[in-house]
Amino acid sequence: MSILVSHSSKNINVSINLTTSKSESNRVLIIQSILNNCFEINNLSNADDTKTLVELLKSKRTVLDVGHAGTTMRFLTAFFASQQREVTITGSERMQQRPIKILVEALNQLGSNISYLKKDGFPPIKINKSEKLIGGEIGLDGSVSSQYISALLLVAPTFKNGLTINFKGKVVSKPYIMMTINIMRYFGADVTWQGNKIIVKNTAYQPINFIVEADWSAASYWYSIAALSENACIEIIGLKENSLQGDSYVVELYKFFGVETTFTKKGIRITKTTKIDKESIPEVNFENFPDLAQTFAVTAAALNFSVKLTGLSTLRIKETDRISALQKELISCGFNITIENDDLIILPSNGASQTANKIINTYNDHRMAMAFAPLSMIFPITINDEKVVEKSYPNFWKDLTKSDFRINS
């Protein structure tokens, strides 16, 4: 179903209890399962991806369907391989187009017996009976998805010989890997990362209750709303200044757009200033925070910035090809966007019509829906498949109505 999103003014004053982080939740759920559920997770995310992971970790079925949940696919593959459980893991049509060969090859090198049921290198996969993984040393290209690396790291403390990962070339998405490592350390894992080598020793996780922080990725949409407003004062509850999440870099990114952040006892308060220097951002590299790229691109285009977005290669294999999807939908709104290899270039444009209703296709991608929603501060937009946001931020549309956005079916 589609919804029409609009806003009656360009002034925002609201307090939001933000959804909690599915990235933190999913990592802690794997550790909780390794420890047979002997500690509590508080503020667990209510995102569909996390609900799917909870359900499948408990399931006794021999065939498990992750749907569109990419992290769940990667994490369960490593988890069930480490548990010597015989199971088939499949997913949606798009999931079966998303590669998993690098993870499967690494696990098989460590002693697993995983096979492909259709196309080589892609789901569905079959985890066959094998001996307990003893671990060892593997090499990985540093440019691979951080989800592969995190999946391996989370189960590595259970390996008799631990795990050493030697990276070839520059490692991308470092903050997501550091989030995984810091969560592992919280539960007692012995992990070191020096240069291009991560070493995980065979150590038992310790059962310690965990409180999940609010989601900085979800906060980025409110930063975009603030940037596109004339006046904004937005309180977001549950965020921390010293966050485990790499997407907290949104605080620095949106200074370019005149959005200032103040940390409070409850979370943060973001406000709109008039200090905007359109000459100050010729290029931004998103390799350490790729989930912010769509939101940033839409904001920059709407404010008629000229900027080059680099470090986007991992966006090609997400829920959709996010680089192409961004270009198509921004052009449909009247903005000037080009692509060079994996770089997205936003150029000055005459601006989109302020009155015409723009139709945004989401491509089954939650971040497409939420990244484009703030454009309704400027002109009405129609979002196709509004339920896609349930993947990571189920209350998104409800939260928008608290700040005078109008949502009509």
Q: Which residues contact 123 (CB under 8 A, 6 or more apart)?
A: 73, 89, 90, 91, 95, 96, 98, 100
Range of the domain at 265: 2-20+213-408
The DSSP string of 231-252 is EEEEEEET--SS-S-GGGGHHH
403 closest CA partner among 224, 217, 169: 224
Secondary structure of 110-141 as H, E, C letters: CCCCEEECCCCCCCCEEECCCCCCCCEEEEEE
Mark whether 202 and 189 lie in a shared domain: yes
SS3 364: coil
Give the per-residue pLDDT at 182.
97
Strand residue runs (E) in 230-325: 231-237, 259-263, 267-272, 283-285, 307-310
- Cα distance between residue 228 and residue 268, in whole Å: 19
Mark whether 157 and 242 lie in a shared domain: no
Mark whether 132 and 98 lie in a shared domain: yes
Mark whether 15 and 116 lie in a shared domain: no
CATH of residue 126: 3.65.10.10
pTM, two decimals, is 0.89
Count of the separate structural domains present in the chain: 2
Mark whether 344 and 294 lie in a shared domain: yes
140: which strand partners? 167
Mark whether 226 and 338 lie in a shared domain: yes
Domain boundary among 189, 211, 233: 211
Mark whether 241 and 175 lie in a shared domain: no
Give the per-residue pLDDT at 210.
98
- How far from the centroid of its chain's Cα atoms is residue 157's Cα? 25
Phi, psi of 285 (to 5 degrees): -95, 120
Instruction: Specify the DSSP element, H or E, that contains 384.
Output: strand 381-384
- Cα distance between residue 240 and residue 208, in whole Å: 20
Angle 172-282-217 (CA atoms, 0-180°, nearest 5)?
45
Return the number of other C-beta atoms located less than 10 Å from residue 192's C-beta. 12
Task: Provide the 8-state DSSP code for 255.
Answer: G
Per-residue pLDDT of the chain (409 residues; tens, 9 = 90+): 799 999 988 899 999 999 999 999 999 999 999 999 999 999 999 999 999 999 999 999 999 999 988 999 999 999 999 999 999 999 999 899 999 999 999 999 999 999 999 999 999 999 998 888 999 999 999 888 899 999 999 999 999 999 999 999 889 889 999 999 999 999 999 999 999 999 999 999 999 999 999 999 999 999 999 999 999 999 999 999 999 999 999 999 999 999 999 999 999 999 998 767 665 578 999 999 999 999 999 999 999 999 999 988 877 767 678 888 999 999 999 999 999 988 899 998 876 655 566 899 998 899 999 999 999 999 999 999 899 999 899 999 999 999 999 999 8
Mark whether 197 and 227 lie in a shared domain: no
Mark whether 275 and 364 lie in a shared domain: yes
90: which strand partners? 65
- Cα distance between residue 92 and residue 67, in whole Å: 5
Task: Give the catalytic positions in this structure.
Answer: 291
Mark whether 16 and 32 lie in a shared domain: no
Give the per-residue pLDDT at 315.
78
Domain boundary among 211, 236, 256: 211
Domain boundary among 211, 228, 253: 211
Mark whether 237 and 161 lie in a shared domain: no
Phi, psi of 199 (to 5 degrees): -120, 125
Give the per-residue pLDDT at 355.
52
- Cα distance between residue 104 and residue 314, in whole Å: 18
- Cα distance between residue 238 and residue 94, in whole Å: 33
Mark whether 289 and 325 lie in a shared domain: yes
- Cα distance between residue 14 and residue 324, in whole Å: 33
Q: In what order do the strands lie in the sheet with 307-310?
A: 283-285, 307-310, 343-347, 336-340
The DSSP string of 160-214 is TT-EEEEEESPPP-HHHHHHHHHHHHHTT--EEEETTEEEE---------EEPPB
